[in-house]
Structure 1
């Protein structure tokens, strides 16, 4: 019997007991359906995060913090030069700041002296109370002081300029209507007022020019401000009071963007050896991917459990088939069909069951997922352009189908082996 004949015979034999085969296929369908959807969710969110990280740019900077001292031997003695309380501003937590000690001018000089670091800029923490335009409503706004080193996903306008002396702001898209602008382009160039409370409790307003409107995204962190804007806010916040040596929650260290990944890692180790912690933008956002991968892994585990349960169903189905077709097996052997061919025949039947279950499950998942994508994009996720929560990749779909067929094939080896070992004379006598 030729290979094509074996495949055709296996397909026909699978459909002999339609009810039994249908129940087994349904068990595989559940696993294939679940695994396809969970894989698509992982691919969709990962693709979105990857695009967001790529749009950030900033391939030549570290976010640097001062490594906290060792506290394993109990509380540390108070040191006004390094106390984190001395630099508290009441503002929002900055990326990478954690619980590290504030950085001093001496730290900045030490960091700038590390081979491979071309420039170091301190980052000042500011806590904005509100944003207002032309005497209208006041709305809460958090300002990310490191936003000028990244590239925002803009809806209108231009990126923040690090070197400009103009106080520049980038506002999220949902502030356009709230502040009274007709559209995103109308907001570009407008001068808005930021309210800020100084250390003495007095309220100040600082003007800033809107240069860009950023798209909303999962990775957005409020409004953006260039160094000139941050400096003006920090000056208003300090109320001109000399609080002693300057302290900064973190700093931005620049290096050659042409460095390879290995060279960047070596430079990070050099910074760490000097007593600082250094992370790239991609390092900070990489934790998001880790969390996503963990969640998808747990969901995939449930799909695998369903497939394992279905594998036992395949074993049971084919064992019953072997039992029912004992005389047929004896006849095939007596007519010269070798044991290897019989083994291949029953194994192919198992693989065909796997093919049916995976094909139906994957097709149903793609149809349901496409409909869900359309509904979410027009509803709850409409504010996150570019996010397809379910991304069906052809390679992943093929991989799922091959995986399920492989599980089915392996499950069929036990019944196939039993069929191949049957004695033809005993089989022909079987009643």
Structure 2
């Protein structure tokens, strides 16, 4: 088999890249270890930056998003029983975010793949990346009980944190930066109306909480928990009681309770691997970086990575200009580190840390009070939340 670009991973990064390349007439093959049902069913992020929405519209993939997505012009912060709103649209010249789950984005990408000529090989296992320091790279894999080799010009590693792509980078080339947080998020999905029409980020002495949603009738809620907590110890009743306490009386006044149909605990980390190119291999999305979900940046960063990579590949094939490929890593990392900073800062502002003493807690509250009263501080938060422009 041969193609121009081998894409490893059919998550948001891999599939958006495949659509962008197919639109430009660049041949690509996507290799995915799992089935479509598995990839599409993963419960992930649900807040899309304006830039992500615009790119999906540019690709003609926004019909359901426009019909079902929830456009938010602001977001809310609660602390010590107080609730205040950040008017993102007013502070950023009209920018918004849209609540639309990653599962829905993946469905749209998969549904449109065949018509656009996007080739996806599911259940491609035992992926091995070869020859990235030569002019003839390839990807070996097993599928249907037999071995295959995909020859290509370039390899895009979009296969997530545990995939084969980053592991193929030479150890003496790759630098890793990481912060593992001493807590996780216990999240539930429930068929109940959201407590607010916009998100609420809550800082409480018991820990962080987030009130989010997937639709006008489906809510997504989180509470901060220790890494030693077990899902079995959190009944629905315990979760709802704790969520109400952390949101505070004003925010929780309209809280609707009901049985959860999904419950999980996710650890938090900040992670960046650089460079994002070595030879003929490029990294994108979770293969290169992870952010804590506090700032809703994970999927949006993956989309911005591949938007830059696709632009560079088009310039290479159309104009014979390699500068975009040569500059991809530096350009992508410039935006990634800004998003990492925001997610790290927002996590530190809203969570309780095990070693937090009374002074540190007072500093948190003082900063929240400052943001509440300062248009300039709210503007900085809003600009980062709706998404910074591509570098």
Q: TM bucket by the smaller chain? A: under 0.3
Higher relative contact order (CA 8 A, sep 6+): 1
Q: What is the TM-score of this pair, normalised by structure 1?
A: 0.19
Decide which structure has greater helix share. Answer: 1
Q: What is the TM-score of this pair, normalised by structure 2?
A: 0.20
Decide which structure has greater strand share. Answer: 2
Structure label with greater radius of gyration: 1
